[in-house]
Chains A and B, each alone.
Chain A
Amino acid sequence: MKRSLSLILAAVLITAMLLTLIPGCGPKVEEKVIKIAVVGPMKFIQGEHHWAGAEMAAEKINKAGGVKVGEEFYTIKLVKVDTDEIVDPDGAVSAVEKAITSDKVDFLVGGFRTEAVMAYTKMVAEDYQKIFMICGAATNELLEGRVDKDYDTYKYLFRVTPIKSSDLVTVSVLMTAQVAQTIREQLGIMQPKVAVLSENLQWNRVLVNMAPAIMKDKLKLDYVGTWDVSATATDITPELKAIEKAGAHIIYTIISGPLGITYARQWGELGIPAASVGINVEAQKDGFLEATKGYGAYDYTLNTYAPVKITYMTIPFYNDFVKKVGQTPIYTAGTYEAIYLLREAIERAGSLDTDAIIKEMEKTEKVTATGKFKFTATHDVQWGPGWVTGLGVQWQDGKMVATWPFKWKPDPEKAPTLEITYPGVVPYKLPPRVLEFWKQD
């Protein structure tokens, strides 16, 4: 009896010892973890790139030892928050609140659809006082009128990608100037005609209203009209035919949604003899040419990433991303930068105190894959020569290539010698049919 009791006791002890060797069963070693929620529509490319960018950053940081907070090292743990905000923006707020209250995340990065981002950043800042780094929504009002007007409430919000919508306007206007110049040089048309084609959404209203004056006064173009199309239109033949009839040489697009595919396909299919330039978010994606059955060739749009040397970090990041995901990164992959910016601010602050991190974040000046980075007074991306500028990309010969900034003179009067061309940026090409049509004409 005594012997069998000893045997049982020994067996229990050995089992207990073995169990301690299994991860999670041993005595709990307190692991220092920083939880970051990656917020986005994970079923869509925007969310996939949010996640991939964040994962790349977290893997690299953890591999290098983690985030140093004072004398201790913390591991980054990512929490995937599928907000489904493209389909259900209201439900996105619930998903974010779940991440904060159930998953107990410390920081948040991501966001895409402005309506949803507007609502959940309001909740994050007002109710939970957590730092949210926006990587995917451009609307000025996400920060303007918030951080500047009510700093104490909204100081938790920062934007990393893309540049704010008014800066996107500036870049797209510069790209249009480049196209106009090419038309002048190659076709001899001194005052090209420009038509504006936009989706009827609130985010672009300022731009749509400003466009005629910009085209006429700033770019010295002959403005022929604005065609405001439903954001969900599946056929815009009448608008394109009207633009053709108006004799436009350039179509300036302001499109963020799926209308971009409809537009580019029909623009090519109908053989509209006008160069397309501006904002077409769909044209930033890898599958654009397939989606438009090749008719989207030579469309020229804004972008954030391309295999050009904006800084020494751009091409390595670009290549790593393509290797990991098999796709060209879109602007939501800015979660990569966001996590690095966050790490640096935490390390400089030496603590996880939110206010201390915000103070450090505001002092940020760092070279990133998108350019030299710092935050403005409204916690937005500092845009301009020497800082983040954005890129213009064109679909040439079946490939997406960067074509802006190319010999860009930001201030010809004050700094006539300053000319910016990122290594790898190639000249813009007019679509062959535009060349043929207007040369014959």
Chain B
Amino acid sequence: MSVLRWLFRYVRNEVLVLPSRVIAVVFCLSLLLLPLFTSNHYHYRIMALAGIFAIFAASWDLLSGFVGQVSFGHALFFGVAAYTASLLNLRLGMTHYLTIPLGAVAAVAVGLIIGIPCLRLKGPYLGLATLAFPIMMIGLIFTFPGFFGGELGISIKTKLAPTRLHDFYVCTLAMFSLGFIMWKITDSKIGIIFHAIREDEIAVRASGINTVKYKLLAFCLSGFFAGIAGAMYAHFQRVATPLSLAVLMSFQAIIWSIFGGIATIYGAIAGVYILFPVMEILRVVMEIRMLLFAAIVLLVLRFMPEGVTKWTRDRLERECPRCKVRNAFSRRECRVCFSPIRRELQKTTP
């Protein structure tokens, strides 16, 4: 009873006070309750894939958004894990309970391998260097087609889950849990150091922090989460193909993250859950699908340069000029310090 009372109080005092949190809760609940509204396997499929891609996009945001290590080749982690999982499943008969974590471990190893030479690089040089790795991996796949299956890829025996409904719940719950873990990492002391490295690496080093260690940690963490997504994807599609390493896959993660709002984790997740189903809906106008997609992205970035989530939050909430706590737009005084919140003040806040 006391737990329920605590929960009720928590929801009333911490969730319902902020529109962005209400939206997040409504989104999570509606996702979990989706099977009440549809039993169409195609809808489950789209939302399951959205869950996998949300983990992938959030992992890019963790590395590039938070630490500033802009990666143009994030599909490397995704693809390496997909291939590792497929090979372990096909050749050694391991189940997905083993192949998914081992795929993620392989992606971490790759994160270390590319992290070390890339640590000296910055900005566009780092971006281009990371872009090269998945291309090299694709070259490797085509060089040893007998082992990697060439362009046909490697088929997987074990499905991610027995039915589409199970697929949907596995992917959604994985997205919730891994998204939450990533968000908590960015909210921790490590996250603060990640932020600081992005803003001023020299200052961080001057403070006695080993930035090399933290940047490598970021590569490994990001690789781990992208790897889980990649291995899940391979089991979901039941095949790992060079497409999982394609440049398009890397760029999609960037587009989703920037669209939703960079350096937030939840922005990347929101970006996927908006854009991925939109792309599916646009199948009805297949001829101009990509054109419309590009137009939507461009318009959103023009009018919401910080991404959809930040733009929405700024419209629905205001920051208290005194204690910096966020309040619902309808409030005239801060919910914590009761200072008056005036729109003019909000506008001048950087």
Contacts of A100 in B (CB 8 A): 41-42
Known: A139-B152, A202-B152, A205-B150. A94 touches B42 (CB 8 A): yes
- Among B40, B42, B142, B150: residue with most chain A CB under 10 A: B42
Known: A101-B42, A118-B152, A141-B152. A89 touches B280 (CB 8 A): no
* Segment 123-177 of B: residues with Cβ below 8 Å from A: 142, 145, 149-153, 155, 164
B238 touches A122 (CB 8 A): yes
**Nearest chain B CB to A205 CB, angstrom units:** 6
- Among B150, B237, B243, B286: residue with most chain A CB under 10 A: B286
At the interface, yes or no: A198 with Cβ under 8 Å from chain B?
no
At the interface, yes or no: B326 with Cβ under 8 Å from chain A?
no
Contacts of B45 in A (CB 8 A): 94, 97
Q: Which of B46, B152, B286 contacts A114 (CB 8 A)?
A: B152
A42 vs B283: C-alpha distance when bound (angstroms): 12
B283 touches A98 (CB 8 A): yes
Contacts of A123 in B (CB 8 A): 238
At the interface, yes or no: B287 with Cβ under 8 Å from chain A?
yes
Known: A43-B286, A93-B237. A101 touches B40 (CB 8 A): yes
B49 touches A94 (CB 8 A): yes
Q: Scoring B residues 24 to 60 as 1 if CB is less than 8 Å from chain A, else 0, what string do you get?
A: 0000000000000000111001100100000000000
B286 touches A42 (CB 8 A): yes
A402 vs B186: C-alpha distance when bound (angstroms): 67
B41 touches A97 (CB 8 A): yes
**Nearest chain B CB to A96 CB, angstrom units:** 9
**Nearest chain A CB to B219 CB, angstrom units:** 26
At the interface, yes or no: A102 with Cβ under 8 Å from chain B?
yes
A115 touches B40 (CB 8 A): no
**Nearest chain B CB to A92 CB, angstrom units:** 11
Q: Which of A43, A89, A118 contacts B287 (CB 8 A)?
A: A43
Q: Scoring A residues 96 to 121 as 1 if CB is less than 8 Å from chain B, else 0, what string do you get?
A: 01101110000000000011001100
Q: Which of A84, A101, A200, A202 contacts B286 (CB 8 A)?
A: A84
**Nearest chain A CB to B287 CB, angstrom units:** 6
**Nearest chain B CB to A259 CB, angstrom units:** 14
At the interface, yes or no: A82 with Cβ under 8 Å from chain B?
yes
Number of interface residues of B (CB under 8 A): 26
At the interface, yes or no: B241 with Cβ under 8 Å from chain A?
yes
Number of interface residues of A (CB under 8 A): 29
B153 touches A115 (CB 8 A): yes
B40 touches A95 (CB 8 A): no
Interface secondary structure of A, over-half rule: helix
Q: Which of B164, B237, B287 contacts A90 (CB 8 A)?
A: B237
Contacts of A43 in B (CB 8 A): 286-287
B155 touches A114 (CB 8 A): no
At the interface, yes or no: A203 with Cβ under 8 Å from chain B?
yes
Contacts of B286 in A (CB 8 A): 42-43, 82, 84
At the interface, yes or no: A291 with Cβ under 8 Å from chain B?
no
At the interface, yes or no: B239 with Cβ under 8 Å from chain A?
yes
A210 vs B40: C-alpha distance when bound (angstroms): 47
At the interface, yes or no: A189 with Cβ under 8 Å from chain B?
no
B41 touches A119 (CB 8 A): no
Contacts of B152 in A (CB 8 A): 114-115, 118, 139, 141, 202-203
Contacts of A89 in B (CB 8 A): 241, 243
Known: A97-B41, A115-B243. A201 touches B150 (CB 8 A): yes
B237 touches A94 (CB 8 A): no
A94 touches B46 (CB 8 A): yes
* Segment 119-144 of A: residues with Cβ below 8 Å from B: 119, 122-123, 127, 139, 141
Known: A93-B237, A119-B238. A200 touches B41 (CB 8 A): no
* Segment 157-208 of A: residues with Cβ below 8 Å from B: 200-203, 205
* Segment 30-52 of A: residues with Cβ below 8 Å from B: 42-43
Q: Scoring B residues 48 to 75 as 1 if CB is less than 8 Å from chain A, else 0, what string do you get?
A: 0100000000000000000000000000
Q: Scoring B residues 238 to 261 as 1 if CB is less than 8 Å from chain A, else 0, what string do you get?
A: 110101000000000000000000
B151 touches A122 (CB 8 A): no
A200 vs B150: C-alpha distance when bound (angstroms): 10
Known: A94-B49, A201-B151. A119 touches B237 (CB 8 A): yes
A84 vs B248: C-alpha distance when bound (angstroms): 15
**Nearest chain A CB to B142 CB, angstrom units:** 6
A365 vs B238: C-alpha distance when bound (angstroms): 35
Q: Scoring A residues 5 to 36 as 1 if CB is less than 8 Å from chain B, else 0, what string do you get?
A: 00000000000000000000000000000000
Q: Scoring B residues 217 to 237 as 1 if CB is less than 8 Å from chain A, else 0, what string do you get?
A: 000000000000000000001
- Among A95, A119, A201: residue with most chain B CB under 10 A: A119
Known: A94-B42, A101-B42. A200 touches B238 (CB 8 A): no
30 inter-chain pairs at a CB distance below 8 angstroms, sorted by A residue, are A42-B286, A82-B283, A84-B289, A89-B241, A89-B243, A90-B237, A93-B237, A94-B42, A95-B283, A98-B280, A98-B283, A100-B41, A101-B40, A101-B41, A114-B151, A115-B241, A115-B243, A119-B238, A119-B239, A119-B241, A122-B238, A122-B239, A127-B41, A127-B164, A139-B152, A141-B152, A202-B145, A202-B152, A203-B152, A205-B150
CB-based closest 7 A-B pairs? A202-B150, A82-B286, A101-B42, A98-B42, A101-B41, A202-B151, A97-B42
Which residues of A pack against B, CB within 8 Å? 42-43, 82, 84, 89-91, 93-95, 97-98, 100-102, 114-115, 118-119, 122-123, 127, 139, 141, 200-203, 205
**Known pairs A118-B155, A119-B239. 9 more at Cβ < 8 A?**
A90-B241, A97-B42, A98-B42, A98-B280, A127-B164, A139-B152, A141-B152, A202-B149, A205-B150
